[in-house]
């Protein structure tokens, strides 16, 4: 598209000493449509859009910023500082965004999960959440306690009102209720941190997506697909509890790939939309088909269609504001 022709990978900073711990990345599985930074070299996820004043496209991931900030090269930080307008997927500092996301996740007509889920699945879900509630105090860090975060508050912040949520959002919630994820709560994720910094620096901020555009695709799965996804997620977390399974991919892997500048690994990690990957070879054939359908639906709706829509909006912003410098911070898996 027209955007791709304007993009060039930003020049890289010299490799910092810790880069030695990064494996040299395999060749790209597919050549990304954008001119990607050279795999296995460090820089990261900054592209320059050729215009005057320049505009930048920066790939973020949804993890506590403290885990990645020191690994983001100076050229990316300089680009952020130099830009007068900073745009995100959604405006995470806007209370309407947050309340819009919350209401989009609710079951319609005041229904409860108990009304819509098969009894046994509901029972397993409730049991798993009781287990999480019991474990939370043991999972939290002294640092979190020091900040006055206590377990009941944290549980309610993440899982409060779960009985009123649509099953697909409960499935995503269960995925985020792991010890690793709990221990990182209380620190803003990278995109939120950048939004807060942009506000603090009095930059113009904006978003290229509306809440419903991010939310509706998830609500668009059919009921049998949602039941399959929730059941698979619970099976996985029940095995983790029983100690018979190591998490298939962890936030830790994602952070390492991001810090090492490995674009492909980040894309194939399913981070952007926080949507898990259900395709695995141990499923019976008919379930393989369901897993495949869910995966291609998410790819279509949450990556390809969003890419196209967001690309058009970026182009429009650049055309309408020829005198402004822009920094677009989007999930790296969008590429």
Helix, strand, coil abundance in the chain, percent, nearest 5: 55, 10, 35
pLDDT in the model for residue 25 = 44
Give the pLDDT band (50/70/90) at residue 17.
Answer: very low
pLDDT in the model for residue 16 = 45
Instruction: Give Cα separations from 123 to 2, 113, 118, 128, 155 (angstroms).
Output: 52, 11, 9, 9, 19
Q: What are the pLDDT digits (tens) for 152-201?
A: 989 998 999 999 999 999 999 998 899 888 998 889 999 999 999 999 99
Q: What are the pLDDT digits (tens) for 96-117?
A: 998 999 999 999 999 999 999 9
Prediction pTM value:
0.83
Give the pLDDT band (50/70/90) at residue 79.
Answer: very high
pLDDT in the model for residue 281 = 60
Q: Concatenate the DSSP letters of all residues of 65-119 into one string.
A: GGGTGGGS-HHHHHHHHH-SEEEESS-TT-HHHHHHHHHHTBPGGG--HHHHS-H
pLDDT mean over 264-271:
61
């Amino acid at each position: 598209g027209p955007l791709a022709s304007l993009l060039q990978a930003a020049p890289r900073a010299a490799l910092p000493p810790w880069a030695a711990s990064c494996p040299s990345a395999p060749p790209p599985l597919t050549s990304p449509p954008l001119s990607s930074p050279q795999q296995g070299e460090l820089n990261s996820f900054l592209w320059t859009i050729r215009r005057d004043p320049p505009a930048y496209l920066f790939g973020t991931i949804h993890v506590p910023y403290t885990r990645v900030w020191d690994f983001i090269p100076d050229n990316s930080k300089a680009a952020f500082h130099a830009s007068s307008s900073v745009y995100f997927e959604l405006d995470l500092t806007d209370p309407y965004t947050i309340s819009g996301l919350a209401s989009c996740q609710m079951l319609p007509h005041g229904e409860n999960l108990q009304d819509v889920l098969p009894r046994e699945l509901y029972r397993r879900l409730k049991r798993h959440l009781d287990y999480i509630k019991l474990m939370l105090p043991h999972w939290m860090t002294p640092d979190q306690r020091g900040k006055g975060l206590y377990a009941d508050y944290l549980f309610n912040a993440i899982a409060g009102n779960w009985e009123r949520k649509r099953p697909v959002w409960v499935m995503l919630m269960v995925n985020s209720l792991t010890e690793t994820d709990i221990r990182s709560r209380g620190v803003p994720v990278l995109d939120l941190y950048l939004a807060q910094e942009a506000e603090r620096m009095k930059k113009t901020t904006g978003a290229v997506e509306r809440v419903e555009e991010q939310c509706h695709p998830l609500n668009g799965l059919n009921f049998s697909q949602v039941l399959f996804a929730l059941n698979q997620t619970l099976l996985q977390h029940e095995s983790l509890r029983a100690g018979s399974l190591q998490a298939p991919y962890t936030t830790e892997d994602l952070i390492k790939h991001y810090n090492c500048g490995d674009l492909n690994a980040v894309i194939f990690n399913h981070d952007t939309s926080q949507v898990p990957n259900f395709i695995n070879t141990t499923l019976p054939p008919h379930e393989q088909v369901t897993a495949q359908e869910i995966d291609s639906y998410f790819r279509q709706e949450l990556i390809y269609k969003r890419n196209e829509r967001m690309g058009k909006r970026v182009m429009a912003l650049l055309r309408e504001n020829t005198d402004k410098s822009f920094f677009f911070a989007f999930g790296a898996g969008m590429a």
